[in-house]
Amino acid sequence: MQRLPAAFALTFALLLASPTWAAEEEPDLELGEKINMTCAGCHGENGQGKPNGEYPRLAGMDARYLAAQLRDFKSRKRLNIPMFPYTTERELPEEDIRAVAAYLASIRLKSRMPPVNENTFDALERLKLSRRILNIPRYPGDLVKGKRFYRKECSNCHGRDGRGKHTRKNFIPMLAGQHSAYLLRQISLIRAGKRFHDEPDDDELFSAYSDEEFSDMLAYLSILDDE
Ligand code: HEC
Ligand code: HEC
């Protein structure tokens, strides 16, 4: 710091001291963890969701995607009746959206338990670890056809590995590692024109694909997180 020109050092110090800068650049993970206690009742304490697909996995998803969805729930661009009371401006102001999204994005779930090491075996540690495991069970369907369909129609945006990505226009969620039943429900909502996808007429595009194409694709997605 001593060698920095004084003006630069002063700007730097002011930036560090400025609460707006801190809030913009560094979401508060501790605050996010606290807020997540409300979310945990439905989404699980580690954002792992429910296998029956009622509540999606949130752990490890892109923070900007999570935040964008929370804003969409708040504005009702995306209708989510069970969650609406939790997303009002009073319950979840913008700062809290960014904090909880960053916290959830930081949670790493593994897809399987590491082998037991008898020398260092610790029952409590293993119990804790087991709560951070999520492996999507193999979904029934044809893997070869599913892979072909996914690679042709979806992987451009959702990524070859199904991990999602973001473009300048929007944040594209991961599909691999997400509960199959939840994905299937979103697909039905997109087809029915009740969930926004990427383009306004994606309801027609999705309606043109068959149920079988989607189940084969879900089968393929369900093995992508098995590594
Ligand atoms: C009362 C139960 C409930 C609570 C509490 C709840 N959620 Fe949800 N959440 C849901 C349901 C149900 C869905 C799926 C809606 C659908 O099928 O479209 C959902 C979906 C989401 C999604 C969309 C995920 C995706 O892949 O698009 C996000 C993000 C989310 N919740 C974040 C949160 C956060 C953050 C909190 C805490 C502030 C929270 N939820 C609290 C029920 C809940
Ligand atoms: C041109 C880019 C693009 C393509 C191609 C694309 N998607 Fe998407 N998809 C998106 C975007 C963007 C979103 C997020 C929409 C939002 O903000 O709510 C999304 C969201 C989804 C969701 C909701 C996930 C969640 O967590 O709620 C599902 C399911 C989905 N896409 C399935 C598919 C399938 C299946 C295909 C191939 C048939 C496909 N998508 C092709 C851009 C794309």
Domains 18-106 and 143-224 share a fold: yes
Residue 7 predicted with pLDDT over 60: no
Name the average pLDDT for the chain.
90
Nearest alpha carbon, ligand 1 atom 14: 55
Nearest alpha carbon, ligand 2 atom 30: 187
Cα separation, 118 vs 116, in Å, equals 6
Nearest alpha carbon, ligand 2 atom 43: 157
pTM (predicted TM-score) = 0.90
CA of 162 to the centre of ligand 2 (A): 11
> For 139, phi and psi rounded to 5 degrees?
-90, 140
Ligand 2 contacts CB of residue 197 (under 6 A):
yes
Q: Say whether domain 143-224 belongs to CATH 1.10.3130.10.
A: no
Residue 18 predicted with pLDDT over 90: no
CA of 2 to the centre of ligand 1 (A): 49
CA of 142 to the centre of ligand 2 (A): 21
**pLDDT tier at 35 (50, 70, 90 boundaries)?**
very high
- What does the pLDDT look like over 132-143, one tens digit per residue? 999 999 999 999
Cα separation, 110 vs 226, in Å, equals 10
Cα separation, 2 vs 30, in Å, equals 32
- What does the pLDDT look like over 51-83, one tens digit per residue? 999 999 999 999 999 999 999 999 999 999 999
The secondary structure element, H or E, covering residue 189 is helix 180-191
CATH number of 18-106: 1.10.760.10
Residue 20 predicted with pLDDT over 90: no
**pLDDT tier at 24 (50, 70, 90 boundaries)?**
low
CA of 79 to the centre of ligand 2 (A): 16
Domain ranges across the chain: 18-106, 143-224
- With a pLDDT cut of 70, the percent of the chain lying above it is 89
Relative to the alpha carbon of 52, which ligand is closest? 1
Residue 10 predicted with pLDDT over 80: no
CA of 153 to the centre of ligand 2 (A): 10
- What amino acid occupies position 94? E
Atom of ligand 2 nearest to the CA of 174: 26
Mean of the pLDDT values across residues 199-210? 96
Other CB atoms within 10 A of residue 126 CB: 12
